[in-house]
Amino acid sequence: MAEFCVRISVEFVADIIPKIWISCARANKRPFLFNFISMQQYAFLFFCLATFSTFGFLACKHDPSLTPGDPNNPGDPPLVTADCNPDSVYFQNQILPILVSNCTESGCHNAQDHQDGVVLISYQSLVSTVENATENDFHENKLMRMILENDDDDRMPPPPKSALPQAQINLLKTWLAQGGQNNACDENFGGCDISNATFSAFVQPLVQGRCQGCHSGSNPQGNIKLTSYAEIKTVALNGKMYAALTRSSNWMPKGGAKLDDCSLQKIQAWIGAGAPNN
């Protein structure tokens, strides 16, 4: 936790005298009385006072503690397993990217705008701002209730954005059925294998989970749609995809974590092969 130093208000009689009495008298091997001190003792007292004012008047204190309900509190770190079990759904790898891509654009559920008090940028913000966010009862779970809403006036994400595809809804359901944990797995366990860098096995799922929330519907971000192979291939071969993913700031996915080096290598390998529909 970060520390910072600030000047604090100290009273001489209430604060300084007792500390000098205890510290300096001990150092001088015997107690002394302020009313009857020699010049030698006075000089020693002055030395103690100067030393204390140098080190004692500056106090370091911790940043204010974040309360458990604060959405900016990162909370406990995720439970990380070595390799990814294909039968498990992982919040950090699969669920959070869906929420960030579909729900945190400007004016919505990011930390700055926090529409309706809801922030969806982390596990902690999800559970602290969304009612029963990890409950497997979809009538109680407000997140699932809004996602499954049939009325466009209440559905999330709202029009003109498209509703979540069934595959992503199924991921959310499975994650909740498995306990709604803040879990994660190492997708590159055992090393970076680019042999599976195909469109169907890697590129399409990545784009669906991390990009289509912004780049779909009738008003896609940047006027770029990424809902079909042809649309994804176009931005891959013209260089825009890789450039957006590797920018040093304002990278894509917008609002999400930057892709790891192995994922970038896989995308680069797929593009280098001509961005095939394989």
Indicate whether 57 pLDDT > 70.
Answer: no
pTM of the model: 0.64
The token duo for 153 is: 């006036």
For residue 231, give Cα distances in angstroms to 200, 207, 212.
Answer: 15, 11, 11
Q: What is the mean pLDDT of residues 211-222?
A: 83
DSSP state of 12: I
For 261, counting Cβ atoms within 10 Å of its Cβ (0-12 exposed, 13-18 middle, 19+ buried), the class is exposed
Q: Which of 248, 245, 275 is nearest to 260 (CA)?
A: 245
% of the chain exceeding 90 in pLDDT: 48
Give the phi and the psi of residue 250 in degrees, each rounded to 5: 55, 40
User: Per-residue confidence at 34, pLDDT binned at 50, 70, 90?
Assistant: very low
What pLDDT, on the 0 to 100 scale, is given for residue 73?
Answer: 52
| Phi, psi angles (nearest 5°) of residue 265 | -65, -40
Q: Examine residue 68 and say whether the peptide bond preceding it is cis (omega within 30 degrees of 0).
A: no
- Residues facing 119 on adjacent strands: none
